[in-house]
Amino acid sequence: MNTPTSPSIVDLPLRTWDDPEARALSGEALAALEQGQVLHFPQLSFPLSAEETALLDPALTDPKRKNISLSARGLAGTVAEGETRERLHATLARFRDQSGILLDALFPGYSATRHSPATSLRLHAIGTWHPSWRKDDRLLHVDAFPSRPLRGERILRVFNNINPHGVPRTWHAGGSFETTARHYLPALNKPWHPWLAGLMNTLGITKQRRTEYDHLMLQLHDNMKRDADYQREGDWVEVNFMPGHTWVCYSDQVPHAALSGQFMLEQTWHVPLAAMSHTELAPVRVLERLMGRPLLV
Ligand code: SIN
Ligand code: FE
């Protein structure tokens, strides 16, 4: 069931990645994005050539990895070699570039400073790759990653369902970040040790030094996934993202779970707080207001 009337999902009518209509929608899109809604583009597809469709084979993923990925360090997470590897690289780069064009038009205020693009090709059917409950994205969560502290920066993601057999990607999504944070904050009681954050960074366990914000977000992620009542009764809606649909959200803010589906492209960017038009809506600012103290320390 699609729920275009849900306050959590906003349907937008763009048809191409460089659709000139995007500029006219940018005010509405930016407000919805920063408020924690999912922007849904039911007519915005990422057509694959026959050669690219042949890449939709889970066996191309390195068995030790969840996804095939492309970042500044190059292509990773695949056992493919030669021409197949080159084709994977080109497909992921094409998705990164197309998403960038869309984001430039919708969110021109982010263009100068959004950074660290990472693209992923998710070939496994949901439910076939989740070594632990903590990594099981069928459970509602906000994104927070142990090795990648964000120090308050935002996780902006563009998704496209590229399933060639008509299979939707079914998500539970939405609900207010602030309501969720208020509910869980009293239980986030793991002690915060700045010296430990420093040590983990020195040892290379984290890519940058964690702040107390990162420490809280990791606990929020885990506590949400562990809470069976919230998984059943939280303030989310079920939405089917059909093949050929694109959707965009701040995944550090929007509670989300991927219930079923197979074959998706996903593009991540990090957005500095200073680029936002309503910084007070960022998870770090919401948590600081609720805690009554700065968390980027
Ligand atoms: C997630 O970001 O939690 C999973 C999204 C997906 O695989 O559809
Ligand atoms: Fe997630």
CATH number of the domain residue 224 falls in: 2.60.120
Q: What is the pLDDT of residues 41-75, one digit of tens each?
A: 999 999 999 999 999 999 999 999 999 999 999 99
Mean pLDDT estimate for the chain: 95
Q: What is the total count of domains within the chain?
A: 1
Look at ligand 1, atom 8, and give the residue with the nearest C-alpha: 258
| pLDDT score for 5 | 52
Residue 221 lies in a domain: yes
Residue 111 lies in a domain: yes
Judged by DSSP in three states, 174 sits in: coil
Ligand 1 centroid to residue 32 C-alpha, Å: 20
Residue 296 lies in a domain: no
Q: Which residue has the tokens 């990162």?
A: 214
Residue 192 lies in a domain: yes
231, 140 in Cβ contact below 8 A?
yes
| pLDDT score for 58 | 98
Residue 134 lies in a domain: yes
Bridge partner list, 270? 115, 155
Out of 124, 256, 259, 260, mutate this one to test ligand 1's pocket (max ligand atoms within 8 Å of CB): namely: 256
Domain limits at 79?
Answer: 9-291
pLDDT at 79 over 70: yes
pLDDT cut 70: percent of the chain above it = 98
Nearest to 289, CA basis, from 297, 97, 164, 281: 281
Tokens of 99: 């998403």
Residue 87 lies in a domain: yes
Tokens of 241: 């993202």
Residue 3 lies in a domain: no
Q: What is the pLDDT of residues 127-138, one digit of tens each?
A: 998 778 899 999
pLDDT at 170 over 50: yes
**Cα(1)–Cα(23) distance, integer angstroms:** 29
Closest-lying ligand 1 atom to the alpha carbon of residue 169: 8
**Cα(199)–Cα(87) distance, integer angstroms:** 40
Closest-lying ligand 1 atom to the alpha carbon of residue 141: 3
Q: Which residue has the tokens 């570039």?
A: 97
* 89-to-49, 80, 95, 175, 291 alpha-carbon distances in Å: 14, 10, 10, 36, 44
Buried b (16+ CB within 10 A) or exposed e, 191-203: ebeeeebeebeee
**Cα(270)–Cα(115) distance, integer angstroms:** 5
What pTM did the predictor assign?
A: 0.96
Residue 297 lies in a domain: no
257-286 mean pLDDT: 98
